[in-house]
Copies of this chain bind each other. A is one copy, B any other.
Amino acid sequence: MRKNPVIAIVGATGVVGQEMLAVLEELAMPLSELKLFASADSAGEYYKFKNSELTVEELTEKSFAGIDIALFATSAELSAKFVPLANAAGALAIDNSSHFRMHDGVPLVVPEVNIDAIKKDTLLIANPNCSTIQLVPVLKIIHQHAGLKRVVISTYQSVSGAGKAAMDELWNQTLNIFNQRDVQSDVFPRQIAFNCIPQVDRFMDDGYTKEEHKVIDESRKILDLPELRITSTCVRVPVFVSHAESVNVEMERALSPVELMKLLDDAHGIDVYDALEYPSQLDIAGTDGIHVGRIRADSSVPHGLNLWIVADNVRKGAALNAVQIAKVFVERFA
C-alpha cells in the first residue's frame, strides 16, 4: 500500500457514496488521486473534491487498474460482481454492502471495536450494517466491564438507510398529503409518511427480517462472541437521517448507569448524555459520534440497563466507518 494511495469510490453518486466523498475531504485522508465510478446513467456528472472537480466515470470490469483502495457503496449484487475484480487488480476493497460480511476470513470491522482484524495482506474488508455499527462499540465496553448476558434491541431507522429514492418517497408522500393528492409507495411496502413500518429488508424463513438477522449475526462476529444471546426488532420510522435504538442489556455482573456513563465518556467516538438529556435523530444528524442517552438501571433482572443509542447512519453507520478503516490501513501498512 502506498502512503498516498489512489482511491476510488464505487457507487459515488448514491447517498453513501456522496458522504464518502465529503468524509475523505473532512478527514484529510492521504491520497494521490480520487476516482469516482457509477453506472452509465451518472457518468459525466461532476462533483467537487477539495479544490478540484471530479468527473464520474462509468464502472466497468477494467475500472480498477491502478487503484489502491476501492470504497464500495454499491448494492450487494454489484459488490458481488465487482469486488473480486478490484481484488484481482490488486486493490484493497472496503465494501459497504451486505454481500461479504458474514463470509469466513473476511474481516467485518468497526475501528473502535476490532481494528486488529485487518492485516497487511487483507484484500477485502466488510463495512457492517448501519444498525450494527452504532451498537457494537457500546456493547463491547459493557462486555469488557460487566459481561454481556443478553441483549434485546428495537430500532427506529431513518429512510436514508434505504437510499435516495427512499428519502424522496418520504418527502413526496408528505407533500402529497398536504396537497390532498394520492400517496404512492414504491420503495417501502406501505406509506412511510406519518407511519412506522416494522419491516426493514425482506422476510426470512424464521419470520425475522434480513435486517434483524444482520444486527444479530454481525454483532456476534464483530464482538467475537458467536454464542451471544441477542434478539432484535427493526422498524422504519418517518425520519430522514440517523438511526435510533432502544437497547436492553442483561449483564453477568453489576455496572451502574453512572459507571457506564464514565466508561463511555472515556471511549473514543462516543458522546454520553446525562440522565435528563438525550440525543434525538434530528439533533445529531451530520455528526460523527455514537450518541448514548437514557442510560438507566433495569430492575427486572439482577444486572440490567436500558440505553438509547443514536448515530447518523449515513456517516458513522456507513461512509465515515469505511473511511476510518481505510485511514487506519494506510497508517499501519503503507
Contact = CB atoms under 8 A, between A and B. Distances in A.
Most chain B C-beta atoms within 10 Å of own C-beta, residue among A197, A231, A239: A231
A47 B303 CA distance: 54
How many copies, total? 2
Interface in A96-134: none
Given A156-B235, A178-B174, A178-B175, A257 B207 contact: yes
A161 interface: no
Interface string A192-207: 0011111100010011
Given A239-B238, A301-B229, A296 B150 contact: no
A196 B283 CA distance: 10
A294 interface: yes
A154 B246 contact: yes
Contact-residue bracket for chain A:
35 or more
Contact of A275 (B203, B233, B238): B203
Interface of A: 150-152, 154, 156, 170, 174-175, 178, 190-191, 194-199, 203, 206-208, 229-231, 233, 235, 237-240, 244, 246, 248, 257, 275-276, 278, 280-283, 293-301, 304, 306, 308
